[in-house]
Structure 1
Amino acid sequence: MTDTIEHVAVKALAWDLAADLHLPPEFDATRHYPAIVSVHPIGSCKEQTSGNVYARALAADGFVVIAFDASFQGASGGTPRSVEDPYFRVQDISHVIDHLVTLPYVDADRIGVIGVCGGGAYAVNATMTDRRIKAVGSVTGVNFGRLMHEAFSGYDPVAALDAIAEQRTAEARGAEPRVNQYLPDSPEAAEAQGLTELDLVEATDYYRTDRGQAPGGRTEALFSRQATAVGWDAFHRAEVLLTRPLCVVVGDRPGAFGAYRDGLEIYRRAASKDKELVVAEGFSHYDLYDRPEAVGIALERLIPFYRRHLQEEPRTHA
């Protein structure tokens, strides 16, 4: 598979988003192409699964695909760094679409979105309110708001909010920022700590080894800026607002991050008349990041899904 990638800057609020445009084979700038925005997981970057796996495969099938770094993360702008704010993450998708619709070779009426892990739920949420999105795919999507409200706050969200408020006040007065690491430093460190939970172990294997490690992938978050996530819900009003075609992909080996339950929930709740649930039997959350067999199951359904809803014979434009 030959890659043609253009590095572009996308205007956000007061900074730029760093993005990679993955172009289809025999790309012809005089034609109109369907386009897909690819949204990376929490703690990830555009060079990892959203870019080097899903964007690459979809571009090879004839789509223009743009993978980008979230605001405050990777090579994108925004300060302070390492902020994971769902509202910014969702707005980033619309900023990227703003860029796509200015490109003469992109058909503005045929834009879709795909997201992996937290990016899957962000993609779903963006599709509810940005009607320029015509189809959405979620690969092992995790509702980060639900995760923050539950496990990531120790199942005591009010106490977590009190701690976040105290830390933010301290930082405003000059204290050192508190940056929380999502993962151990290495698989060996995870083993030494006696960690056995499936998602945590497999995340460490992906992000902390040559398998998936990338300079822009920072599995960390600024604690003082996490209050918004505790009160956020990616699926709020899905029964009314999520009407676009939806394809949800999950593995049936569930882990603590909750992609399996979140996938079934959004599939059930979505108002979409055209919706698909793909269960990769025998595979886990992180298998769907890059393991060829698991990814193959996902793409076997995602590619026809996007073809059906976005793709038609490209037409020459003036």
Structure 2
Amino acid sequence: MSKRDNYIFDLSDKVTRKSVSYKNRFGIKIAADLYLPKEFDESKKHAAVIIGAPYGGVKEQGSGIYAQNMAERGFVALAFDPSFNGYSSGEPRHLSSPDLFVEDFSAAVDYVGTRPFVDRNQLGVIGMCGSGGFAISAAQVDRRIKAVATVSMYDMSRVQANGWKDSFTEEERNSILDAITQQRYAEFEGGTPVLTDRGAAIGFDDNTDPISREFGEFYSTPRGYHPNSITQFTVTSGMSFMNFPLLTHIKSISPRPILFIMGEHAHSRYFSEDAYELAAEPKELYIVPNAGHVDLYDKTDLIPFDKLESFFTENLK
């Protein structure tokens, strides 16, 4: 089948895709796509994998690619739009929250785990980029999640609280917080929510910041463009991330396994490496040769789907 409805990939003739929706515990309606193998026996119980999109991404992009490929390999797979983003509900649009985005994973478990053809004791999650941190955080408290894989992980609480490579001084952090609180006043008095600068460069050149350019080559070109994926969030969202670390209880996931996948040349690899050191066994750090951060969003020749299949097959028994 050809691309349609702004999906950045062709629908495989080996799977079926169904638009579904359900509510999280905040009452927000989550929009999701359920992928099933084409030859699917609904009378039997199957293992399921839930895939979270990169921070700023939507289900029609990388998480859909992962869901489709996992369904081709026999899994029930769900890709969803985060609360306040994509086709999920919630106002104001493009709000971001560590609590909400972690809850979205548990809400997906609620939905998938109540499908009659899913074994609720065989549920795993894949978190891409920022949702890698949210997936880990969800697994810390939601023991229904039996195995966790992250891909090109970002710890968004760490980024917003400490800056890139933990570079913020206390003065810089306080200045950011002061600006956010002034914006809260403005919005409380009727002002329009202000969004952060776009994370993915548009019209980039050789002088563009390398990270913004890397994201721009995906989100701002036909390769990965989707109108719901603007790589911007409300400025006032930052306060929550600065106050709520995501990985505090990562050791508590054990003895459930964690697989950290990262590109050899990823600008973000220190997030995966540091989280790997913090996690308890069983854990694995898997490095994809000759790959960067964004490469693992959509380049199916680089994404280690065989590794993901074997990891979940082994651990969702």
TM-score by length of 2: 0.90
Task: Name the structure 1 match of 2:271.
Answer: 262
For residue 154 of structure 1, report the CA deviation from its aligned partner. 7.3
Which residue of structure 2 aligns with residue 144 of structure 1? 156
Are 2:90 and 1:82 equivalent residues in the alignment? no
* 1:48 matched residue in structure 2: 61
Give the partner amino acid of 2:308.
L
Worse overlay, 154-163 or 242-251: 154-163
Flag the 1:128–1:242 CA change in 2: closer, same or farther, 3 A: farther
CA RMSD across the alignment: 1.7
Distance change (3 Å), C-alpha of 1:126 and 1:184: closer
> CA contact under 8 A between 1:25 and 1:62: conserved in structure 2?
no
Determine whether 1:274 maps to 2:282: yes
Give 1:24 deviation, angstroms.
1.6
> Contact conserved, 2:263 with 2:288, CA < 8 A, in 1?
yes
Question: 1:190, 1:242 → 2: CA distance?
Answer: 43
The residue aligned with 1:96 is 108
After superposition, the Cα gap between the structure-2 partners of 1:147 and 1:160, relative to the gap in structure 1 and judged at 3 Å, is same
SS of equivalent residue, structure 1 residue 97: helix
TM-aligned CA distance change 1:114 to 1:286, over 3 Å: same
Q: Of 51, 56, 64, which aligns to 2:76? A: 64
Partners of 2:95 and 2:234 within 8 A in 1: yes
Partner of 2:205: 191
* Structure 2 CA distance for aligned equivalents of residues 14 and 300 of structure 1: 37
CA–CA distance in structure 2, aligned partners of residues 14 and 55 of structure 1: 25
Match of 2:8 in 1: none
Q: Deviations over 1:279-302 (max 9, x none)?
A: 11221001111123321xx22311
User: Which residue of 137, 150, 165 maps to 2:181?
Assistant: 165
Counterpart residue number, 2:291: 283
Distance 1:105 1:240 in 2: 29
Aligned length: 300
| Structure with more contact order per residue of length (Cα contacts < 8 Å, sep ≥ 6) | 1
Determine if contact 1:39/1:68 at 8 Å carries over to the other structure. Answer: yes
- CA distance change for structure 1 residues 238 and 110 in 2, over 3 Å: closer, same or farther? same
Corresponding residue for residue 137 of structure 2: 125
Write out per-residue CA displacement over residues 82-103 of structure 1, whole angstroms, 9 at most, x where no aligned residue: 0111110000111111111221
Unaligned runs of 5+ in 2: 1-11
**Paired AA for residue 77 in structure 2:** V
Aligned pairs (5 A) from 1:217-236: 217-236=229-248
- Distance (Å, rounded) in 1 between the aligned partners of 2:167 and 2:92: 25
- From 286, 295, 312, give the equivalent of 1:306: 312
Question: Which segments of 5 or more consecutive residues in structure 1 lack a partner in the other structure?
Answer: 312-318
Amino acid at match of 2:197: Q
Q: 1:216 aligns with which of 228, 233, 247?
A: 228
SS in structure 1 at match of 2:264: strand
CA drift of 1:234 comes to: 2.0
- Identity fraction in percent: 32
Q: Secondary structure at the match of 1:253?
A: coil
**Which one-letter code corresponds to 1:261 in the other structure?**
Y
